[in-house]
């Protein structure tokens, strides 16, 4: 990392970052989401919760082709993920791994989040698959929330750790596991206490916001995502993990666009669009915490290290140069309201 040496840092050059959790969607949105992700991310882990989901090698590879045909900038590389169902077979895992293009498989507890209806109904159903993943070295990515309607939505992550993930970690000691988009102090502590094969991604919006931003003084649907924003003590624990230099915590934006009318609705969709300013939003969060010097490890080194990939070798430069985020962006043929719409972001990539 290099930065200018005056009291206030105004430029910051870091190794090109990667995004270890992003939703690009499909169809006519792809050219726009692919443009945004490839502007300065070197690689990205592409979430498979399409309609229908990318549950097998062939559909995942076909999706990769559509992404490449959407015209990514630079050397952008999409890293693909299989969507696990109760019916996924160990053979499908081996087939996917052999392509070299599918690095991970995603556990969505059925019904936990957007497009997760075909997900796994009980983790025991996929134990043979997890065994195959452990054998071939395929990562398990986890949406860590229980779906039991009797569990309070603010407790669903913690209950998942206590009742499900702890057992998986114990039963598969060699399986690399990423607990995605963590939102609680409990998740931070779980990952810190777990062995080296367990890591977590953290979004920019969970670093910048807590549930007051979403609910105090009016309900703001564009902050609604899953796992839901928690109270500020959890936000502080996430920030502490992100700036700790602990290599188990790395960048995953979970940028997840939904059209404006689907968010501003009586029953709005879960997901926040942050790909318009992903690294800039993280820079704001790290600067607020007085830890800009910790951004590079979190954004550009630790994820690649955990996945067992080379770090990127080129750099990007962030400049302190405030700009106003538009009210909407057009993705495909409809409008999306981004995080910080009509607000100012201090940083931009040169
Ligand atoms: N995070 C979200 O709130 N939504 C994601 C799904 C997910 O990552 O859980 C989406 O696909 O819209
Ligand atoms: Zn999720
Ligand atoms: Zn996601």
Asked if residue 2 belongs to a domain, the reply is: no
Contact 2, 304 (CB under 8 A): no
16/192 Cα distance (integer angstroms)? 26
Strands 249-251 and 334-336: unpaired
26 is catalytic: no
- Ligand 1 proximal residues by C-beta, below 6 Å: 23, 49, 113-114, 143, 225-226, 254, 256, 270-271
Residue of 19, 45, 143, 270 to test ligand 1 pocket, by largest number of atoms within 8 Å of CB: 270
* Mean of the per-residue pLDDT values of the chain: 97
pLDDT for 156 equals 98
Asked if residue 211 belongs to a domain, the reply is: yes
CATH of the domain at 185: 3.20.20.140
Q: 50: domain range?
A: 15-349
Q: Kindly report the three-state secondary structure assignment for every residue of the chain.
A: CEECCCCCCCEEEEECCCEEEECCCCHHHHHHHHHHHHCCCCEEEECCCCCCCCCCHHHHHHHHHHHHHCCCCCCCEEEEEEECCCCCCHHHHHHHHHCCCEEEEEECECCCCCCCCCCECCHHHHHHHHHHHHHHCCEEEECCCCCCCCCCHHHHHHHHHHHHHHHHHHHCCCCCEEECCCCCHHHHHHHHHCCCCEEEEECHHHHHCCHHHHHCCCCCHHHCCCCCCCCHHHHHHHHHHHCCCCCCEEECCCECCCCHHHHCCCCCCCCEECCCCHHHHHHHHHHHCCCHHHHHHHHHHHHHHHHCCCCCCCEEEEEEEEEECCCCEEECCEEECECCCCCEEEEEEC
Asked if residue 10 belongs to a domain, the reply is: no
For residue 180, the CA-to-ligand 3 centroid distance in Å is: 8
49 is in an annotated binding site: yes
Q: Which residues have beta carbons under 5 A from ligand 3 (an ion)?
A: 254
Contact 36, 275 (CB under 8 A): yes
Q: Find the mean pLDDT for residues 14-40.
A: 98
Residue 4 has pLDDT above 90, yes or no: no
Banded pLDDT at 8 (limits 50, 70, 90) = confident
161/113 Cα distance (integer angstroms)? 17
Residue 7 has pLDDT above 80, yes or no: no
Torsion of CA 222, 224, 230, 236, to 10 degrees: -40
Which of these is catalytic: 28, 254, 333, 343?
254
For residue 206, the CA-to-ligand 3 centroid distance in Å is: 13
Residue of 104, 116, 226, 259 to test ligand 1 pocket, by largest number of atoms within 8 Å of CB: 226
Q: Model ipTM?
A: 0.99
Asked if residue 8 belongs to a domain, the reply is: no
270 is in an annotated binding site: yes
Q: Which ligand is nearest to the CA of 22?
A: 3
Q: In this predicted model, what pLDDT tens digit does every residue of 97-126 receive, in sequence order? A: 999 999 999 999 999 999 999 999 999 999
Asked if residue 168 belongs to a domain, the reply is: yes
The owner of tokens 């007051």 is: 212
39 is in an annotated binding site: no
Residue 283 has pLDDT above 80, yes or no: yes
Asked if residue 293 belongs to a domain, the reply is: yes
For the chain, what percent of residues have pLDDT higher than 70?
99
pLDDT for 2 equals 77
Q: Which ligand is nearest to the CA of 223?
A: 1
As beta bridge partners, residue 251 has: 202
Number of folded domains that form the chain: 1
Banded pLDDT at 3 (limits 50, 70, 90) = confident
Asked if residue 6 belongs to a domain, the reply is: no
Q: In this predicted model, what pLDDT tens digit does every residue of 149-187 receive, in sequence order? A: 999 999 999 999 999 999 999 999 999 999 999 999 999
pLDDT for 9 equals 84
Asked if residue 308 belongs to a domain, the reply is: yes
Q: In this predicted model, what pLDDT tens digit does every residue of 222-271 receive, in sequence order? A: 999 999 999 999 999 999 999 999 999 999 999 999 999 999 999 999 99
For residue 279, the CA-to-ligand 1 centroid distance in Å is: 19
Residue nearest to atom 6 of ligand 1 (CA): 114
Ramachandran category for residue 274: left, alpha or beta (phi over 0 → left; psi -120 to 50 → alpha): alpha
pLDDT for 1 equals 76
Q: What is the atom index within ligand 1 of the atom nearest the CA of 225? A: 3
pLDDT for 6 equals 54
105 is in an annotated binding site: no
């Amino acid at each position: 990392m290099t930065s200018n040496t005056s009291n206030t840092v105004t430029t910051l050059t870091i190794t090109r970052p990667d995004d270890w959790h992003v939703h690009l969607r499909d169809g006519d949105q792809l050219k726009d989401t692919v443009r945004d992700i490839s502007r300065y991310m070197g690689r990205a882990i592409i979430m498979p919760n399409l309609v229908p989901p990318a549950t097998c090698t062939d559909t995942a590879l076909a999706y990769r082709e559509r992404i490449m045909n959407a015209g990514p900038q630079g050397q952008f590389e999409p890293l693909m993920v299989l969507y696990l169902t109760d019916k996924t077979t160990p053979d499908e895992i081996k087939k996917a791994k052999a392509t070299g293009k599918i690095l991970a498989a995603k556990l969505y507890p059925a019904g936990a989040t957007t497009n997760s209806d075909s997900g796994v109904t009980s983790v025991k159903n996929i134990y043979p698959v997890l065994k195959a993943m452990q054998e071939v070295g395929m990562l398990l990515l986890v949406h860590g929330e229980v779906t039991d309607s009797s569990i309070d939505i603010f407790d669903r992550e913690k209950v998942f750790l206590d009742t499900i993930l702890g057992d998986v970690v114990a039963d598969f000691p060699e399986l690399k596991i990423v607990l995605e988009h963590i939102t609680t102090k409990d998740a931070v502590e779980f990952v810190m206490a777990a062995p080296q094969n367990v890591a977590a991604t953290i979004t920019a919006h969970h670093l910048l916001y807590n549930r007051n931003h979403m609910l105090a003084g009016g309900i703001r649907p564009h902050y609604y995502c899953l796992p839901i924003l928690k109270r500020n003590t959890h936000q502080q624990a996430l920030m502490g993990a992100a700036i700790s230099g602990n290599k188990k915590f790395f960048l995953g934006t979970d940028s997840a666009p939904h059209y404006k009318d689907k968010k501003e609705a009586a029953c709005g969709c879960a997901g926040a669009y942050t790909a318009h300013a992903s690294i800039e939003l993280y820079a704001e969060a790290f600067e607020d915490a007085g830890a800009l010097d910790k951004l590079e490890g979190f954004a550009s080194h630790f994820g690649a290290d955990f996945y067992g990939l080379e770090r990127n070798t080129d750099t990007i430069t962030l400049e302190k140069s405030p700009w106003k985020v538009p009210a909407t962006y057009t993705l495909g043929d409809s409008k999306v309201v981004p995080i910080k719409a009509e607000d100012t972001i201090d940083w931009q990539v040169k």
